[in-house]
Structure 1
């Protein structure tokens, strides 16, 4: 893969702006919010599982406890890693807090027991109640695992919201009209110079794919724009893969009717930018919204 000078130059400029724009107060707030969110979750998981003696019952009560249980393993497991160990486990139950069926909870509990870090919960081997100090040490350890990741997510979400709002404000300033968001399943669903924020495009083979901004162009064409902020080069791979997955689904269903675009910001590898352009995704940058403005003007 050969990275163009333009993609390399824009990626480096975005990285420089990201570093220069680092906000200690904003990130400190993200960190404090992460700590405040996680501690009650750990306490609730311990209470529901009788201090880890009965994780099965805890999962039958609330699948969201898996966020905590996964981080008690040696080593802690991501959702995908745990799914490999226990194919019965529905990953979505963690985010939705959906109760797990008894047979699923049983299978998950067996894997958790096998991989549990006994040093983090010494009372299990001793068959006794934990001391206050032991419980607090466990709580603090789990927080130390989860809080950094949650903080990065909150930071990215905060910047993404600002990025999305900038696009919405720009379109309104250009005289575009915002429409209520509905699933787009027919051509001409969005008239020229109209747009939707957080809507979905129907696809033939997968569930409807959400898009951040959908812009109506002439001749019933629509631009599906994904707004992506990345905190580091590793994260950029995941964000770009998400755009490419959606672009492929939309192309398979709609052909050239839907044109995928991506608005990028943060630390993004030039190679990842090139992957987008090589697949026909139109790339724009938050530091150059004028280029996006000129593009939408030319399409209506």
Structure 2
């Protein structure tokens, strides 16, 4: 059987699509500036109150070790992580502190609290808290600067995380909606699967991400010709970042699926949004990745509809 294949683009076509996607990305971010600023301000205010509480509760950090269990029990781990030099993610904290947890109940246990605080104290940012360990009380200006510095770090990271999550979720929802409205698809409950026969049937699209042979896929649906299509939705803010998002994360998955099921079993592709380098797009396409764009989902809908003929 001759299967319909996704379009392969010339370098010029990829460059044109990338330019359109870049402009679309800028417009989207510009339109969201007011709501993004409001989210940042709210996150800043919350973090400022939290660091203020930590400082006042611990006698401006002089009793930090003694207050460890209480602070963890009250949920102040996140703000404590941003008091580090450098700041540490929750996953890295689990490993580096040797507690293997971020759960309030477990972290507040004496043994874990001691391990966690020993790690945090060892890496406390003394540029932000210059009085720490000096035996001298901080000045009002030092306290004020420290509160603003930590709050800004927390708000910045939380805002960036919110934007990534929002972009990813809205992108996946847009793909599903385009296929339902434009290609007659029916949404069904997602399920992990290892055999193609257990995947979505022709005309079905899973309602959320799923795992194919142990590898997560963002949008999975059954093409009308019996194959399964697995799409990764990727957002990149810079051309440099596009290599990680596309050539590393996406290509690795699709190569594995093709090895397991063959290109006539699973059609692997991506839906891109943001800024992508043309060289990276060419490399991904050569590796067998079908490329589509959030700014023009009609190309995806047209390809999927053609598999019914």
TM-score band by shorter chain is 0.7 to 0.9
Match of 1:113 in 2: 121
d(CA) in 2 for partners of 1:218, 1:212? 19
1:175-214 alignment, distance < 5 Å: 175-188=184-197, 189-203=199-213, 208-214=214-220
d(CA) in 2 for partners of 1:170, 1:51? 55
Match of 1:232 in 2: 238
Match of 1:57 in 2: 69
How far the C-alpha of 1:16 sits from its partner, in A, is 1.9
Match of 1:86 in 2: 96
d(CA) in 2 for partners of 1:242, 1:104? 34
Q: Does the 8 A contact of 1:214 with 1:225 survive in 2? A: yes
Q: Does the 8 A contact of 1:63 with 1:99 survive in 2? A: no
| Secondary structure of the structure 2 residue equivalent to 1:181 | coil
Gaps of 5+ in 2: 1-9
d(CA) in 2 for partners of 1:115, 1:44? 20
Cα distance change on mapping 1:275 and 1:78 into 2, 3 Å: farther
For the pair 1:170 / 2:178, whether they are aligned, the reply is yes
Q: How many aligned residue pairs are there?
A: 289
For the pair 1:31 / 2:40, whether they are aligned, the reply is yes
Match of 1:18 in 2: 25
Gaps of 5+ in 1: none
d(CA) in 1 for partners of 2:304, 2:60? 57
Match of 1:246 in 2: 253
How far the C-alpha of 1:194 sits from its partner, in A, is 0.8
Match of 2:228 in 1: 222
d(CA) in 1 for partners of 2:72, 2:40? 31
Q: Does the 8 A contact of 1:236 with 1:269 survive in 2? A: yes
Higher helix share: 1
- Root-mean-square deviation (CA, aligned residues, Å) is 3.6
How far the C-alpha of 1:134 sits from its partner, in A, is 5.1
1:79-158 alignment, distance < 5 Å: 79=89, 86=96, 88=98, 90=100, 93-94=101-102, 99-100=106-107, 106-122=114-130, 124-127=132-135, 135-158=143-166
d(CA) in 2 for partners of 1:127, 1:111? 21
How far the C-alpha of 1:62 sits from its partner, in A, is 7.7
Q: Which has the larger radius of gyration?
A: 2
For the pair 1:69 / 2:75, whether they are aligned, the reply is no
d(CA) in 2 for partners of 1:209, 1:50? 49
Cα deviation digits, residues 97-141 of structure 1 (max 9, x gap): 673476665455444333322243345324587677655432321
How far the C-alpha of 1:283 sits from its partner, in A, is 0.9
TM-score, normalised relative to structure 1: 0.77
How far the C-alpha of 1:191 sits from its partner, in A, is 0.7
1:270-289 alignment, distance < 5 Å: 270-289=278-297
Cα distance change on mapping 1:140 and 1:17 into 2, 3 Å: same
For the pair 1:7 / 2:17, whether they are aligned, the reply is no
How far the C-alpha of 1:56 sits from its partner, in A, is 5.2
Cα deviation digits, residues 140-159 of structure 1 (max 9, x gap): 21122232233233223333
Q: Does the 8 A contact of 2:187 with 2:205 survive in 1? A: yes
Cα deviation digits, residues 168-197 of structure 1 (max 9, x gap): 221111211000122223323211011013
d(CA) in 2 for partners of 1:161, 1:214? 14
